[in-house]
Chains A and B, each alone.
Chain A
Amino acid sequence: MFIVYIFILLLIMTLVSFVVKRSAHKVATVESVIILFLTSIYAYLRFYSYAGGMMSVASFPIDTSIGISFLVGVTPVSLALLFLTTVIMAMAIFVSGRESYDRRFYGLMMATEAGLYGLLISRNFLFFYVFWEAIIIPVFLLIALFGGKNREMASLKFFVYTQLGSVFLLLSILTLFSFYNTSYHHGFTLNMGKLLSTAFINGYITSAQPFWTDFILFGFFFAFLVKMPSFPLHSWLPDAYTSAPYPVTIVLSGAISLMGGYGFYAVIYPIAGTIGFVAAWIILLLGIISLVYFALVAMFQENMKKMISYASAASMGFISISLGVGILSSGYNTYTSITGGVFQILAHGLIMGLIFSSLYIIKLNTGSESTLTVRGLFREMPIVSAFFLGGLMASLGLPGLAGFIAEASIVLSSYSTLGMIIFFVIFGMIITASYHIWAAQKSLNGPYNEFLGSIRDGTRGEIAALSLMFVLILALGIYPAIFYHMIFIYVKGGI
């Protein structure tokens, strides 16, 4: 129940953010930190005594005659992502302080957080879908209202793309619901635990009408791959990420991208037994293509914001790889791969939060985000540059930082499935490393670009926030068991 109280508190806070007259930034920061604090305590208490299964199950019936109830439940996967969401939102809201955004901005930010929170705790498909969609609206408005140049087109593209994905999600949900009623139990339910069962799908859908199983899986995959974003469905990404104001970019890369991954592990992985060999390989290959393709594209970007956006998409490729490997292999490899995938979402979110936040401060101080202008920044802004470098190193998978743990467990467990194809994954990782280092070298090291003049380093508050973020990444890199262990127990116990 505790988690429901936090959620209700968050909803109230969202309203407060919309109506507060003055110092909207301070109010929103305090609110998001309170949510972060409460969620962390909850996560700590739950993880401390975790023994498997679902936690904090609560149900609020609404219309049981057609299966609608607000069913709440938390798994280690969703709890890790809840933690990530709250960290990212607190970070994004805090660093936006230097630009004078009004209460609409912070209200919409809090609404995004509320939507994500609701998505991660609900175990009823109707609410899952409602929150899934409800997140898009504030993000769309944030881009449309506060974005940079080209914001109209970018926000529309973002919305239409994700909407196209989610309508297929809706069709899949309705199909499961309908089959559950007509052929399985003759009852109405939208409970995710009941609908997402391999026994039900294989026994009552695949055996009778194999087409419907493909239909369901297609809908789910399409919706999640758009959100990820994966290779052929990514064209909203560069527009949205670059047109959005920086705080929103932090949210997009850190928190919104987790939706696709969460869908993979919470919706698709439980019914992995229904996914055929070919479909699993398609997902796997899409992941590898995303990794390599986005890395190559990122390599040729002069605009660092755009480059990091592609880097973010590239490392989300690991999620698809992990799911594909998880389906195709078995036993220990599956557990490691899936756990690594979840950990990758967490690590990726934190790392992107750090990189985009420090890049934001660099942009504010220098007025530029291009590697052509920003050069030799170490001389003038040593501390923020150091954190930017730290973020880049974590993103390329340097051992000792969080990104390495995730990538290592995915790569290690995928060898038995991929065989020699793993070369492409390694290739992608090498390109990633090369352009990260390249960007760091150009923007941070070397002679200082004197045209920028004398500039200040980040403020004390910003540096404190960045260092907390970096410490978190470091801690998860050195002692990943904080999250890794519980996720592993959960995955091993069968989702």
Chain B
Amino acid sequence: MLSILFSNQLEVMYPEIFLGLVAFGMLLLGRSVRNPAVYTYITMAALFIGLLLLLMFDMGTETLYGGAYLVNNFGLYFAVIMIISSLYVTYSAGATLKSNPESFFSLFLLVNVAMIIAAFSMNLIFIFIAFEGVSIGTYIMSAYGKSRRNLEAAAKYFFTGIIATGFILLGSSYYYLSTGTFNLESVSISKGPMLVALILLFVGFGFKLALVPLHQWAVDAYDGTSNPVSAFLSSGTKILAFLIILRVFIVGFQNFQGDVFDLFVIVSIITMTYGNLAALSEKNIKRMFAYSSIAQAGYLILVVAATSAAEATTFVFTVAIFTAMYYSLVYIFMKGGAFLSVSAVRKESVDIDDMSGIGVVSPAFAISLTILMLSLAGIPPTAGFFAKYYLFLALISSNLWWLAVIGILNSAISVFYYLRVIVVMFRKDGIQRDFDTSARVLAPLVLAAIISLVLSLFIFAYPQVSSLVTGLGVSI
């Protein structure tokens, strides 16, 4: 009986089991303890232990459940990133919470359980279930808080999310119909149903990554929810959606690379351009960040375009997947920090102009946000630049100069709206002085800024990290 606890099958699940147990324990505790700080610290401790458990039990390579669950260092890397992104927002989330902290945080931990499972899944059903776990948790999290705006945002997120779920299920069925398996592997079969599956799955997962034209929910949801939740939605869950897109479309559709390429190129061009142009004219800072994260999603999926290009070599593949790994890591801090910074303004709906004068009140805040904006715009010596550097290197190496030019023109446009925030922050006249620059707001921001600078040293790790890319599950 006990031996099953120590079998391979279960050992890799220890982090998930641990986090799940803590989550249920917290629900029980909720009957007696009402102080949000307690739950914040429990959650942080649990996530930290979960991280350690991940590193202890999920190192190495193992294939379980008939190929459905692939434990390796590539998946581990993303699982760790997602846990870190959760850890990053936990403290701020606890500080803004007003009621029922126990259910919020237990949901939060359950979302993390689902994210870890999704990071290792190589099977469409596994992915679907884990993904739903994340989605349902985040629906409730975004509805937290009782204002009308919260509820409106959550309702929009929920209804569009449900539709996406339907698409994923239908797409998975078509995938099964044509391949006879839910596992993501190399299959050679007729084209027809597979293309239907491609489109349906793309629509379903594209919803979550907020690709144009499936993006509108993201703008409203990020705008309406509390800042820590939007930070989490736009970092952790977005990276998860990105990882799943990598898995499904690079591994699952490896014999349809031409179609994948066409689809991703078109959508990424539209997404980048639309996101950037919409952000240019946006006055509300959270909506502006939302559009910018749509544009960033456009850059992210260029990775898929590079790997599925006709002239993609092993080198291109390695650099592209390395980009995906690096960009994801940088992204959670850039975007998470940007969304959390909005808390400095004590208002429901914050315009960019409301930031004016914060450079006078708190130089540390202004400098940190400046670094984040430069990193988002992809300007050296920040980590955001090196992430883009590898991305464009992959594109150029696979002979996609035109795509690189479009991407780079987009990144030049984006500079404009990122820098506008900087300029406004350092305004000297006609400014207000009522900002919340307590440690609660400042600490995560400064941390993100420091990390965005330090991560530029990640280029040192290229040899080690690039050796993980085979773990994606495709032989190159």
Contacts and interface: CB of A to CB of B under 8 A. Distances in A.
A binds B: yes
A63 interface: yes
B459 interface: yes
B408 A145 contact: no
A104 B426 CA distance: 12
B144 to A, nearest CB: 37
Contact of A133 (B315, B380, B427): B380
A155 B423 contact: yes
B67 interface: no
Nearest to B420: A156
B415 A160 contact: yes
Interface of B: 313, 315, 359, 363, 370, 374, 377, 379-381, 385, 389, 392-393, 396-397, 401, 404-405, 408-409, 411-412, 415-416, 419-420, 422-424, 426-427, 459-460, 462-463
Contacts of A152: 423-424, 427
B401 A175 contact: yes
A66 interface: yes
A293 interface: no
Contacts of B423: 144, 152, 155-156
- Interface centre among A134, A159, A168, by most chain B C-beta atoms within 10 angstroms, is A159
Contacts of B315: 181
A408 to B, nearest CB: 39
Interface string A56-100: 000000110110100000000000000000000000000000000
A215 interface: yes
Given A66-B462, A171-B396, A134 B401 contact: no
Interface of A: 62-63, 65-66, 68, 104, 126, 129-130, 133-134, 136-137, 140-141, 144-145, 152, 155-156, 159-160, 163-164, 167-168, 170-171, 174-175, 177-178, 181-182, 212, 215
A171 B459 contact: no
Contacts of A159: 415, 419
A163 B28 CA distance: 55
Contacts of B363: 104
Nearest to B416: A160
- Chain A facing B: main interface SS: helix
22 contacts: A63-B462, A66-B462, A68-B459, A130-B385, A134-B380, A136-B379, A140-B419, A141-B422, A145-B426, A152-B427, A160-B415, A163-B377, A163-B412, A167-B408, A171-B392, A171-B401, A171-B405, A171-B408, A174-B392, A174-B396, A177-B396, A182-B397
B426 A144 contact: yes
B396 A163 contact: no
Given A134-B381, A137-B374, A167-B409, A156 B396 contact: no
Contacts of B377: 163
A178 B393 CA distance: 8
A68 B411 CA distance: 23
Nearest first, the 3 A-B pairs at minimum CB distance are: A130-B380, A167-B408, A174-B396
Contacts of A130: 380-381, 385
Nearest to B428: A145
Contact of A174 (B359, B393, B416, B426): B393
Contacts of A68: 459
A66 B408 CA distance: 22
A126 B393 CA distance: 12
Contacts of B427: 152
Nearest to B418: A159
Contact of B463 (A63, A134, A168, A215): A63
Q: Which of B389, B412, B420, B424 has the most CB of A within 10 A?
A: B412
